[in-house]
Amino acid sequence: MPNIDFVGKRNFFIYLSLALILFFVIVIFVKGFNFGVDFSGGSEIIVSFDKSYTIDELRNGLRTINPDYATAKIIQTNPGGGTSERFFYIITVRDSFPILEEKQAFINSLEESFSDSNLNIEQFNDVSGYAAREIRSYAWYAVIIALMVLLAYITIRFQFSYAVGAILALAHDVLITLGFYSLFGIEMNLTAIAAFLTLAGYSLNDTIVIYDRIRENRSKNHGMDIERVTNKSINEVIVRSLNTSLTTFIVVFIMLLLGGRSIASFAFGLTVGVIIGTYSSLYIASPIVISMVKRRKKTQKA
C-alpha cells in the first residue's frame, strides 16, 4: 500500500487550484465560449459536394446570397472517417429560418451558387433565438438543482462539512473544465452540458468513495486525529481511484480521438474532467473537510 502524504501539503495544492481557477476565469472572460447553435440560435447546415471547395470559395458563394453570411462559420469535416467519396462542410449562420419559404429560398440559392457539384443537405439544425434562450436557462436550472439535491444527499449520508467539500471540489472541476473549453475553443452545445453533468457524477463518485473510507476509518480509530485518518483513507483507496480513472480515461480519450465531431465536445469534457476530477478528489475534497472539521473543533473549545 502506498504511503503518500496527501494532506500535509494541502495548502500548496489549494493555492495551486486557486491559481488555476483564477487563470481560467480570466481566459473565459477574455476568450469567451464557442457557442453552438443550441445556445446562440441560428442554423447549422452540413452540406456535401462531389468536389472539394476551399473555405474562401464557400464564403464567397455565401456572400453573394446575403452579405451577412460573409461572417458564417465554415468547417470542413469528415463524418465517416474518410470512407466517403464526398466532401462535407459545416456552415453555421446566425439566421434561423422559421418560415418555410425563407428556408427554401436559402437552400435554392446555395444550390445555384454551387450548381456544378451536386450539393446535398445532410443535416439542417435550425434553433430559433427563443429556443436557444430557453435551452440556456434550463441548462442553468439543471445544474443548480442538481447541486442542491447532491448537497442534501451528502449531508444526510455524511456531514454538512463533507457536502461542502464535495461541492467545492465539484465547482473546482467544472470551472477548470469550462476554462479548457474556452482555451481550446471547443463548441459549447447540449452534449457539452451532458458532459458536465456526467463529470459532476464522476467527480462526486470519486470523492464519495474516499469519504466513505474516511467515515469507516474514523469510527474504527477513535481518537486518531483527522489528518492521519484522512491520509490513511486516501492511501487505502488510491489504487482504486487511479485504476478507475485510467479505465474511464482510456474510453473517453479514444472516443475523443476516433469518435468524430458530433461526440467531440462530450468526449473532450470528460477527458479533461476525469483528470481534474481525480486530482480534486485526492487533493481538494478531503483536505477541505479537514480544515472545516478543525475549525469547528476550535470554535467548540472556545
Partner 1 sequence: MRNRRIRILFTIIVFVFALLGLILPLSDNVNDISIFGFFPNINLGLDIQGGVLLEYSLDVPEEADTSNVVDNVITVLRRRMDNAGYTEAIVSEVVSGGESRVRVEIPGISDTQRAEELIGSKGKLYFAEVLEVVESTTTPQITRNRTIQINGEKIEMYSYVKDSNNPNLWYRVKNVFEFGDAPFQITGLDVTDAVASLNSQGAGFVVNLNFNNEGRMKFELATANLINQRIAIILDDEVIIAPVVRERISQGRAEISGIESMAEAQNIAVLIKSGNLPVDLVKFQERTLGPTLGRDIVTTIINAGIIGLIIVMIYMIIVYRWMGIIADIALIYNSLLLMGVLSWTGAILTLPGIAGIILTFGTTVDGNIIIYERIKEELRIGRPPLTAVKFGFNKVFSTIFDANITTILAGLVLFFLTSGTIRGFAVTLIIGVLGAMFTNLVVSRLLLESSSHFLKPEKYVKGIVVGKGGTK
Decide whether 31 or 87 has the Cβ nearer to partner 1.
87
CA torsion, ordered 130, 131, 136, 138, to nearest 10 deg = 110
Min separation Cβ 167 and partner 1, Å: 11
Written as one string, the DSSP assignment of 20-82 is HHHHHHHHHHHH--EE-HHHH-EEEEEEEESS---HHHHHHHHHHH-GGGGG-EEEEE-TTTT
Q: How far is the CB of 46 from partner 1 (least distance, A)?
A: 7
Question: Nearest-CA neighbor of 199 among 219, 175, 215?
Answer: 175
The nearest distance, CB 214 to partner 1, in angstroms, is 11
Question: Which C-beta is closer to partner 1: that of 22 or that of 149?
Answer: 149
Query: Which of residues 151 and 175 has its CB atom nearest to partner 1 in the complex?
Result: 151
Distance, CA of 239 to CA of 156 (rounded, Å) = 28
Nearer to partner 1, 92 or 248 (CB): 248
- Separation CA 19–CA 27 (nearest Å): 12
Least distance (Å) from partner 1 to the CB of residue 39? 12
Cβ distance to partner 1 smaller for residue 179 or 269: 269
Minimum Å distance from CB 48 to partner 1?
8
List CB contacts of 253: < 8 A, sequence separation 6 or more: 267, 271
Taking the complex as a whole, the smallest distance from the CB of residue 96 to partner 1 amounts, in Å, to: 8
CB of 198 to partner 1, least distance (A): 6
Nearest distance from residue 18's CB to partner 1, in Å?
25
How far, CA to CA in Å, does 41 sit from each of 113, 139, 229? 25, 15, 51
Q: Which is nearer to partner 1, 228 or 297 (CB)?
A: 228
DSSP string, 128-165: -HHHHHHHHHHHHHHHHHHHHHHHHHHHHHS-HHHHHH
d(C-alpha 14, C-alpha 281), whole Å: 12
Report whether 65 contacts 106 (CB < 8 A). Answer: yes
Q: Which is nearer to partner 1, 18 or 148 (CB)?
A: 148
Describe the crossing of helices 261-280 and 160-184 by its angle, rounded to 10 degrees: 140
Measured distance CA(292)–CA(82) in Å, rounded = 55
Question: For partner 1, which is the closer residue by CB, 61 or 201?
Answer: 201
